[in-house]
Structure 1
Amino acid sequence: MDKIKTGLAAYGMSGQVFHAPFISTNPHFDLTAITERSKNLAKERYPETHIARSFDELLDMNDLELIVVNTPDSSHYDYARRALEAGKHVIVEKPFTQTVEEANELVTLATEKGLTLSVYQNRRWDSDFLTVKEILDKKLTGRLVEFESTFPRFRNFIKQGTWKETGEAGGGITYNLGAHLIDQAVQLFGMPEAVFADIAVLRDNGLVDDYFIIHLLRPSKAPDVRITLKASYLMCEREPRFTLHGTDGSFVKYGLDRQEADLTNGLMPDTPHWGEEDPEIWGLLHTEKNGLNMQERYPSIPGNYGAFYENIYQHIRKGETLLSDARGVINVIRLIEAAWESSRSGNVLNLNP
């Protein structure tokens, strides 16, 4: 079948690292256009790709089927709406929108027009997350009782010249990293009945939230599991990325999926052994069952963000289920809004009072 002609709405870090490499190396896609208002950086790597000078120019390209909205957070709703109105399938970078109301409007519009609307929740294809899913599916820790997901970063200064630090166009760690951690938890355990959160600005002279701890209470698929999600820009000493405790043992995984680092260093997704972790950083599975105590490194499943784009193709061309359907991501925005309300009030927020 014909390749899906695709346009990128921006060529900043997101476009250069998370989107263009996977579109360009997938034989089912054609990276037709990239928006750069004044520069020509994309030409160095993608010389055959058209450089659009505005989002309007991208919308006016009749041969484009799919547009990736990877612009600043506050523009996601407007740009996605305009792309849908122009008859394009749309992928929106996370966070999907700033509000649940905006998210519902976009899903309704896409449904009315019969168009695909997906959110780039790429960390569903992180190596560590895929491995955690396997461990839970196999019940290797017994009945799970506690789940902790932490995204540690260390940036003890305010990065100048970026909207992510000013709050003028979105930003803040809760909508940024929180969108990933919450999405992963909902994928595993379903929607919680309630949320209890603390969101704060911890760095000197900070303008946006740079710390959160969110507890998801009584999730629908596993109401007895205690879920804690945490991220901070002031974690110089690393904490485990995932910690699972169950009736038969524990699983602890340090380190981050390697794909972002490899992409930032210029590696492409068609590199041999893409997404594979070195055995020395595999997570530790420690179990005690029937009097037998075992500690072993559990092999990590290779990460593969390319699976997101392959699913987009299979959905658009062959009608297969859309794995990151925007309909399902509305709940992520709902939980972010709930976390903020809980943090402001200092109370547990019930989602279904």
Structure 2
Amino acid sequence: MKDFSSMTKSELTDFILKKKKELGERVRIVGYKGQFDDLLEFSDIIGDAYELVDAVKNTKAEFLVFTGWRFFSDIACIFAPDKKVIQANIKNDCPLAEIIDENDIKKVYTLLKERCTEKEVIPIGYVAAHYKIRSYCGENNGTTCTPANALKVIEHYLKENKSIFFIPANDAFNIITALNLPEDEIFVIKKDTDLDTIPANKKIYAWNVECYVHTHYKVDDIKKLKDQNKDIKIIGHKECAPEILEQCDYTGFVGDIYQILKEAPSGSSWGVGTVDTWVKRAAYEYSDKNIVSFRTDLVCLDMKITDYQDIAESLQSIEDYINGEGELKTQIDISEEYRENAGKALTRMFEICK
């Protein structure tokens, strides 16, 4: 393969744009809304978690190059096994995907099934969870969810009088608050929870984890913004801590925040609590508004892993593969065993949310 390591950013940009034009509709580059600006300029498909899941189901491209987190590539493999899926940088993944061990989940779920004699326990795995966990959910009559539709999925099963095992719940406390359930109907599980302390027949068992960006904002961060501008409106990502969301005028996930800022009046001021790079892109796109981040030092380092060279190498590998001159770079594949059950989980999610 061609050596891209010595090429400048400008040279890499020219190469990527040229190669995209040559490969045409056979290739689609897929980006996540929360990524860095300079990568999204190459993306043919951009969306939040739910939008990307939907998009990869419907695209006619033969090759999909993912520049965001690895779990999006996994989803493409599950729903589009006929396509060649490439992860531009194999190390790029959301920490939530690796933070919980599959065997720990199996232990807890087995225990819950034994103890919850009054209700069936439905496992719901976040779309960011490792595909093996989502597969386990599908195998056990469960489903998956995105941050944006988690509440709808949970409410669906509560109406069916099911108990829910929610994995992993970065914003467990916020979802629980939104459900308006009594505290004694919920049990929050952590990595160090003694299994003997897990009670029976609760409505929700939430395995809580923390995002190292959204859970580190402080109330003082918002106070400083308000001190600087008394007219500023505050909007926080729903994965922020409850005490942060209490200080917000609006809350939402990436898609929600995007829409709120888009519809905001020209000249209005906004303090936004999510990844700083995303906020900067919103500020650039909606330059008629004053949009600032809660804090500029809280950056998702995992989103920074993929770079121009990775995309260039991926496109070159596709051309070489088409010409019979090489293999695809970091092609993602999932065994039939996991693909079938993870597919069941995703299909149930779409059925619930249609």
Instruction: Give the TM-score normalised by the residue count of structure 1.
Output: 0.36
In terms of fraction of residues, the more strand-rich structure is 1
> Counting helix residues as a fraction of each chain, which structure ranks higher?
2
